[in-house]
Structure 1
């Protein structure tokens, strides 16, 4: 017996999208966690009331990275993953870290910018053996902040679009102008705001969707 066909409609498409978003949420830190990683960036230490915001952000990092996490497999069970950071070490090394960041952040943000300020800051701190020994846990935070990859889909799409103008087609823009304008002006949807109902209705309304145009 053939398996039953899955009938797609706006409801189960939305459920699929919600499930995908939930899956992505389990793979990447939430926005407030990503914001808290800003404590290792030099720009962070030039803002007002930095001490109060630092305490709140450090608390978020300790809650997220300083506690063991369950590693659930497909059977629904699994081991626990050891915490990435030590909350006790973050607290004990905090004073020296704050002093070093406040002392060096303004300097690396002063022109000329031959090196990225973030890179330059941690090169300076890493070249001092005393500082490396004084707050190694915050060096871990810096490595995490510089290696967690954020989404770049919108940037890549923009660069691809610009390629139509800056590439081999730049001398024939009049011929391809409608395509370029359309790529810049078209509306892009996310999984949450995609019009699933309208898309299904449009798909069903196209009665010749299975026919090939052989002309």
Structure 2
């Protein structure tokens, strides 16, 4: 960090910008020494002869630059992660079978009904993912709530953020803007997945009813 000695006098201060973007005000005291301070906060950085002040500020600049170089960028650290969303309907159900063979950097997991609108972990997952990430979901019925449009809407939202979405059971992955045909296929598969879920519930209800009838007779 260099400045000329005659640029700073008792009647004329000098503002200099360091390589880290901080502006320093240099002033000369009655004793002839140079003082470097923050003109906004008044914090003093150093005081002494010109050569000493130059050396101190130069060393400080170098240290700040090294810290910035060594400090990992949060966005770069995050980018390219494999994110998993896992959901089961009841507390008794196990999540261990979902995405068991997928290497994930972070997992969002919750136990809520398929028709529940309030899914805090799904919302947190969608807010967490960044450009370059891949969102892994076991199957389409893990995200559908009110209809097949849920899947299409989620994929479109993620793709706009630069996030790829992969549904493992269906073997489908979306890396960019969907075509009309892709939207149609995704919507159909999501509807089928939802229908399968409803059929399972019907069979369960029929089984329970039959078991109760057998006990009462």
Shorter-chain TM-score bucket reads: under 0.3
Instruction: Name the one with the larger helix percent.
Output: 1
Instruction: Name the one with the larger strand percent.
Output: 2
Tell me the TM-score normalized by structure 1.
Answer: 0.27
Tell me the TM-score normalized by structure 2.
Answer: 0.27
Query: Whose radius of gyration is greater, 1 or 2?
Result: 2
- Say which structure, 1 or 2, has more relative contact order (CA 8 Å, 6+ apart): 1
